[in-house]
Amino acid sequence: MNRPIRRIAFVLGLLLVALVINVTVIQVFLARDYRDRAGNQRILLQEYDRERGPILVGPDPVARSKETGDTLTYQRMYSNGPLYASVTGFYSLVYGATGLERTENSILTGKSSLFVVDRVQQLFAGRQPHGGAVTTTISARAQAAAFNAMKGKRGAVVAIEPSTGRILASVQSPSFDPNLLSSHDPAAIRDYYNALTADPNKPLLNRPIVALNPPGSTFKLVTTAAALESGQYTPDSVLPGPATYLLPNSTKELHNWNGKACGTKGQVTLRQALALSCNTAFAWLGVQLGDAALRDQARKMGFDSAFQIPLRVATSHFPDILDPAQTALAAIGQYDVRATALEMAMVGAAIGNGGVLMNPYLVQEVRGPGLAVLQTTDPSTFGTALTTANAATLTDMMVNVVDKGTGTNGRIGGVKVAGKTGTAQTGNDNPAVAWFVSFAPALRPKVAVAVVVEDAGAAEVSGNGLAAPVARAVMQAVLR
């Protein structure tokens, strides 16, 4: 009998030790993680008793707390909620927080270590603690222009200030109203949330930073940069541009978007190939450069790097291992190349900023409850994507795309605009996506824009017809 009892005692002892270890890990090491989870109802209820700080666009609050007189003292309110939903996210009694409401929660609730002195002052003064303010980098004009231009379309827009990395616009379409998720009626919140999640257009998806699509011909900017950086090619280098290109070691043929040969008798310069968006020329060029050169150039422009702005951004990707046929397709932004709208805006921004890519960011300042500035985001460099000389050369080639090529709808009177159209097949008989990447003014750009429109037509002109007018509206809003 003693041996079975000893075995049971040993097992119970192990379980007790495991329990003590588990409790210790949760209460000591994981306490903050559990506390800060978006759906933690206990913490949320505590937070409803104090005034949550505002989220600002310029001087104007786009998210603020309103006193209710109910059991839950405050309710979150959003002015122009759908317009800024991709930035603010929502703050919900049932579903927790998303967007800046989540990432900047410690600031907005006043629990950040930045507010230690303020909390002590409030304690001695007998005042109820309340949160600080978060000032975004968003331009109200650019955001509104992007939102209005995307009405009736499904996709995303991102605008960046090339010299700093400040995000001037981040728009998803369709959007949603965060006010309906921040009410104090759990049943109404669930009904609206369920309707959003059931919508095939996925209005809750933060498309500017989460949706990954093949970049199509806008990736030819990366391929061109790699060609210029190799030292083997100039804008006047002549490339083969036949109507069809037989993929290496394959029986499959690649066609130009208009079904025709490029240039004169199937010969085209690199400058002309970019302006005409010649698939066959760039597929051939990609194979000559090799997948390693394309991959290296893509990574210099932000591909395969994780960014937090402070919202977590989906990682844009260039494939790790490619055979020659796959390399040809990757060179025109197909195969397994995937990018967010933010990433393609960064590509344009790097070219426009003399080859230097800045880290993107969405929060400009953190302010205390009295709106005194406590913290400011300083611009930081991600790296050098290409030389200053090659960036200037590629800029000139992009201006030619808008002036004489496929990007004519990106033109702005009196302003030189650099741009590139793109249309990408998404596979499985799904509709193509249309792109436009641009910046202006071309020589000293104040804004770089990437627009992606889903459910586009199959031709290259859809990037010019659907996406370029949206980009033009955003650029005009920033430049006026």
Q: Identify whether 217 is a catalytic site residue.
A: yes
User: Quick check: 72 and 93 in contact, CB under 8 A?
Assistant: yes
DSSP string, 357-387: EEPPBSEEEEE-TT--EEEEPPP-EEEE-S-
User: Quick check: 175 and 86 in contact, CB under 8 A?
Assistant: yes
Could you give the dihedral angle defined by the CA atoms of residues 271, 275, 280 and 281, in that order, rounded to the nearest 10 degrees?
0
User: Quick check: 218 and 333 in contact, CB under 8 A?
Assistant: yes
Q: Choose the catalytic residue: 86, 170, 217, 462.
A: 217
DSSP string, 116-155: HHHHHHHHHHTPPPB--EEEE---HHHHHHHHHHTTT--E
Count of Cβ atoms closer than 10 Å to residue 122 Cβ: 16
Measured between its terminal Cα atoms, the distance across the chain in Å is 90
Dist. CA 202–CA 217, nearest whole Å: 26
Longest dimension (CA), the chain: 97
User: Quick check: 338 and 315 in contact, CB under 8 A?
Assistant: no
DSSP string, 273-285: HHHHT-HHHHHHH
| Residues identified as active-site | 217
